């Protein structure tokens, strides 16, 4: 591919950090993990960081720490990576899907309250593609009903809502450090919280339910979700680069929007309350058949694309719940008409120009 979806920016500093950690003789969860937890929690403006071996694991820890049980309901978005909702099923609970806003593709706060029942135990919004959810109305609803909020910020490291970084608003928040995220630990994730009791529970659960004070004593059923020091060493270096990555990503989008703002492609935007970190370049075509032609053209030009994540209610593990898809039309429509491509901070000006030209020509093909 001339423009692959992306690859992690692993440089000499990350390699040196890994080498030093390997030479230290301590490679599993240890001091480096504690340093990374403290540094990332401080960056996001929270008190406690609980590192895990994936963003999915972090979400599972957050739900388990809230003692989510079979029969409970969690309100969330139908348009996301399935990792958002799989942990809900792990706990035997049921996702309750609320449609998204057409502009941001984030969960629509205006539709949440009508879906709350006595079984509702949490609201799980996703800051999709790096654009913050409109949090004030969502948090007001949650507070009025005494329901905790878990922010899925897997794609939104450094994004801000009304000037404050996401991940600091909910009872808990969760991030991913997978290879294609804004920063990477290769595999990894983290949960953040200001509540010391929740932090203690999540640390207990991630380490097989074993207490630090009593080795091989397991008061609860836990999981093996630990992050190794090798990953944390990479994360500490990556965190230093995060703001520069965000600046480059925002510049990439500004350039593409300037070049193709007269086409019938809808590129990501930024509402007044938001500071968008533009995890990827996601695009909506006017019609599904247009999207198919555009994606085929870009593939011929060796520009890698992906579908607009998952429309989760139609995934096989979720069909049995019989969701009313008519209530989720905006999300389904976006999934059918949308796709995304790289917004890597390593894209050169030559690659950006090639991208812009290919996008414009691909639209021309749909009009023939």
Annotated catalytic residue 332: no
DSSP per residue over 252-275, as a string? HHHHHHHHHTTSS-B-----TTEE
- DSSP SS3 for 204: helix
Check residue 136 and give its pLDDT: 98
Can you tell me the mean pLDDT for 74-103?
Answer: 98
Q: Which two tokens stand for residue 155?
A: 């794609």
Q: Does the pLDDT value for residue 214 go beyond 90?
A: no
Each residue of 37-72: pLDDT tens digit? 999 999 999 999 999 999 999 999 999 999 999 999
Cβ–Cβ < 8 Å for 68, 201: no
Q: Which residue has the tokens 């009872």?
A: 171
Class of domain 12-236: alpha beta
Cβ–Cβ < 8 Å for 62, 191: yes
Cβ–Cβ < 8 Å for 6, 19: no
Q: Does the pLDDT value for residue 280 go beyond 90?
A: yes
Each residue of 258-278: pLDDT tens digit? 999 767 899 999 999 999 999
Tell which CATH architecture fits domain 242-366.
Alpha-Beta Complex (3.90)
Can you tell me the mean pLDDT for 322-348?
Answer: 97
Domain locations along the chain = 12-236, 242-366
List all residues 6 or more positions away from 156 whose beta carbon is below 8 Å from its beta carbon: 127, 130, 131, 132, 166, 167, 175, 182, 277, 279
Check residue 261 and give its pLDDT: 78
Q: Does the pLDDT value for residue 353 go beyond 80?
A: yes
Please pick, among 121, 181, 291, 332, the residue that the annotation labels catalytic: 181
Q: How far apart are CA 126 and CA 153, in angstroms?
A: 6
Check residue 104 and give its pLDDT: 98
pLDDT band per the 50, 70, 90 thresholds, residue 158: very high
Q: Does the pLDDT value for residue 365 go beyond 90?
A: no
pLDDT band per the 50, 70, 90 thresholds, residue 252: very high
Check residue 105 and give its pLDDT: 98
Can you tell me the mean pLDDT for 230-256?
Answer: 98
Check residue 1 and give its pLDDT: 79
Can you tell me the mean pLDDT for 279-291?
Answer: 95
* Domains 12-236 and 242-366 equal at CATH topology level: no
pLDDT > 70 in the chain, percent: 100
pLDDT band per the 50, 70, 90 thresholds, residue 193: very high
Check residue 263 and give its pLDDT: 72
What mean pLDDT, rounded, does the chain reach?
96
């Amino acid at each position: 591919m001339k423009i692959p979806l992306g690859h992690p920016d692993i440089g000499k500093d990350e390699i040196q950090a890994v080498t030093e950690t390997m030479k230290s003789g301590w490679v599993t969860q240890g001091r480096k993990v504690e340093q990374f937890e403290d540094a990332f929690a401080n960056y996001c403006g929270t008190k406690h960081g609980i590192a895990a071996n994936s963003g999915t694991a972090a979400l599972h820890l957050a739900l388990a720490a809230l003692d989510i049980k079979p029969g409970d309901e969690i309100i969330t978005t139908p348009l996301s990576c399935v990792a958002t909702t799989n942990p809900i099923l792990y706990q035997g609970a049921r996702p309750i899907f609320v449609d998204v806003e057409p502009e941001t593709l984030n969960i629509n706060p205006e539709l949440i309250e009508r879906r709350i029942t006595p079984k509702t135990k949490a609201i799980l919004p996703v800051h999709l593609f790096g654009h913050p959810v409109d949090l004030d109305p969502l948090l007001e609803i949650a507070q009025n009903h005494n329901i905790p909020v878990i922010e899925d910020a897997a794609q939104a490291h450094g994004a801000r809502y009304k000037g404050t970084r996401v991940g600091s608003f909910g009872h808990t928040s969760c991030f991913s450090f997978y290879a294609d995220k804004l920063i990477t630990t290769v595999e990894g994730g983290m949960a953040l919280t200001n509540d010391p009791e929740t932090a203690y529970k999540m640390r207990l659960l991630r380490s097989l339910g074993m207490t630090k004070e009593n080795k091989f004593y397991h008061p609860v059923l836990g999981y093996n979700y630990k992050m190794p020091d090798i990953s944390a060493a990479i994360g500490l270096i990556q965190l230093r680069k995060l703001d520069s990555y965000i600046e480059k990503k925002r510049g990439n989008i500004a350039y593409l929007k300037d070049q193709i703002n007269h086409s019938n492609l809808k590129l990501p935007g930024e509402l007044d309350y938001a500071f968008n970190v533009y995890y990827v370049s996601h695009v909506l075509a006017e019609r599904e058949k247009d999207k198919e032609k555009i994606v085929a053209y870009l593939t011929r030009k060796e520009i890698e694309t992906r579908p607009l994540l998952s429309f989760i209610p139609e995934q096989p593990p979720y069909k049995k719940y019989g969701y009313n898809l008519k209530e989720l039309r905006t999300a389904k429509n976006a999934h059918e008409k949308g796709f995304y491509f790289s917004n890597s901070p390593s894209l050169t000006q030559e690659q950006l120009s090639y991208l812009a030209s290919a996008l414009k020509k691909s639209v021309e093909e749909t009009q023939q």
